[in-house]
A and B are shown apart, each in its own frame.
Chain A
Amino acid sequence: MTRTVHPALIAFTALVFLFLLAPLLIIIGAAFSDTTYLTFPPQGLTLRWFSNIFQIEAFRTTAITSLELALLGTALSLLIGIPAAYAISRHRIELPRWLSTLFVLPILVPEIVFGFSLMKSITIGLGLPIFPSLLIGHALLVLPYSVRVVSASLASFDFSIEEAAISLGCPPLKAFLTVVLPNIRAGVIAAFILAFITSINDVSVSVFLTGPGISTLPIQILAHMEQFFDPTIASVSVLLMLVTVAVMAIVEATLGLTFLTK
């Protein structure tokens, strides 16, 4: 629906977008400032805060941990989430209703409560090492995206195509891989991206599960911020924004960004 909108509303919306984007521009400016304290507008231009990131080993190791967690955790969640989504969509009538509710729980339970409970039960209770604990936490944190986004794309899939393949002698697993999966590709990509972004930015779950020697990038940024208030944090933030830009470019190229409003 395209209609004329009152100029006051347009002006207000422009202000909202200024509010949304100005803080990010300020971070970018501060990252290039040739001062030892955070300031905006930048005084002089330098890249030394960016090179400083690579001098600090903690940023390097935690960035690698965060990437590993996001990739492995998302992969794990898809590995168990896609079959669950398939079962729910294919056998909706025969399966109980609580089943789909179960997979919303990781969203419903506050992240901070989830992180604390998981630490008590598996890190302390079962004595699991830090990395596997973090991995379990991240995989579960993003599981709702895998199940729900993939279910949503299965909802518009015509299962009779799969049945035709099977009745013509195709083994069920092969039918799934060659008939169903290519048709829900967009949903799987969307689930992957949302899960990846959620995992890489997570603080509330990770804060309990990190420990001596292993931490994630956002937790490291928080810790660094409490000790030093210099432009290094701004330059790390700029690098994280570049990751966001890359992700948005992938979404735009594969699904179109409007899918996020659906």
Chain B
Amino acid sequence: MKHLVKWGLATPAILAVTLFLLVPVIITIAATFGEAKGVFAPYIAFFSSGFRRTVLFRTVEIALITTAISLIIGFIAAYVIAQMPGRAKSLMIIAAVFPLLTGVVVRSFAWLIILGKNGILNTMLLSIGVINEPLSMLYTEGSVIVAMVYLFVPLMILTLVGVLEGIPEDLIQAATSLGATPAATFRQVILPLATPGLIVGAVLVFTGSFTSYATPQLLGGEKQMMMGTFLYQRAMVTFDWVGASTIAAIMVVVTIGIVAIMSRIARRLNPMAV
């Protein structure tokens, strides 16, 4: 009876995830292997096309650069926030949460206004005479990266503030009183203790930017197509469902692979965590 109750409570949710998430995704991935031309035909087609390879490599590259920049900016900001006295700290957290809770479409749209041909940045640069004619900043890799960093820095800050606050002050005082320079304290005390948080943040940002759809669509256009937009285009514009499913399968493998590798690294660095 008790056995029945505890499983019974979890059953609706288990069924929902299985029926509407696991099964559809497995069917999608399985569909790529049922081709008449051969089991791996869709994958051979994907990797033998220069254009498709470019989309994949561009997506990995943009996601990596976004993650690296977000890690650096987010770490510094989170470190400063963690040192702030109570009131300033909560104000800064509110300021970081606000963009996070504002939708992706709205936040990407802001960069269209800023980076457009008649956008604010061009108007400013023209009026101070740095440039003579407006620059084309939209639909470049740079514009996608700026907008992605903008999307993910708040997430990185929030992930890291909690971790950095949790570092006991005693440890830092001990290091200092034993003669460690601020740089050495940072390298040997703060950084190792913050590593689990940095890894969680990196995983969130990498998977988030690797799989994003709206931002590359708006700021990258056709020229800077990424995997998410490519999947949509294959599925809903050219109706190439096998091609779309192949892209989906590659995205799942990369995402789960990154999560697995990073959590293994995290476990090795800090056996207590995860």
Contacts and interface: CB of A to CB of B under 8 A. Distances in A.
Nearest to B241: A120
B255 interface: yes
Contacts of B96: 17, 20
B51 interface: no
A75 to B, nearest CB: 13
B98 A95 contact: no
Given A1-B82, A20-B150, A94 B6 contact: yes
Contacts of B14: 84, 99, 102
Interface stretch (A159-167, A180-188, A201-209): A201-209
B107 to A, nearest CB: 7
B79 interface: yes
B251 A234 contact: no
A39 B119 CA distance: 7
A228 B21 CA distance: 36
A67 interface: no
Given A5-B83, A13-B76, 11 more contacts: A1-B172, A2-B85, A17-B77, A20-B150, A30-B113, A102-B18, A113-B211, A121-B20, A201-B104, A204-B211, A204-B214
Contact of A143 (B16, B81, B93, B109): B16
Given A120-B241, A204-B214, A247-B101, A110 B207 contact: yes
B104 to A, nearest CB: 6
A86 interface: yes
A118 B24 contact: yes
A113 B256 CA distance: 13
Interface residues of B, number: 87
Contacts of A237: 106, 109-110
Interface in B76-96: 76-77, 79-85, 90, 92-96
A27 interface: yes
B259 A108 contact: yes
5 contacts: A84-B9, A116-B248, A122-B20, A201-B105, A203-B214
Interface of B: 3, 6-7, 9-10, 12-14, 16-18, 20-25, 27-28, 73, 76-77, 79-85, 90, 92-99, 101-107, 109-114, 116, 118, 120, 150, 153-154, 158, 161-162, 165, 167-169, 172, 207, 210-214, 217-218, 228, 231-232, 235-236, 241, 244-245, 248, 251-252, 255-256, 259
Interface residues of A, number: 87
A129 interface: no
A257 B228 contact: no
Contact of B150 (A1, A23, A37, A245): A23
A117 B10 contact: no
Nearest to B28: A117
B217 A222 contact: yes
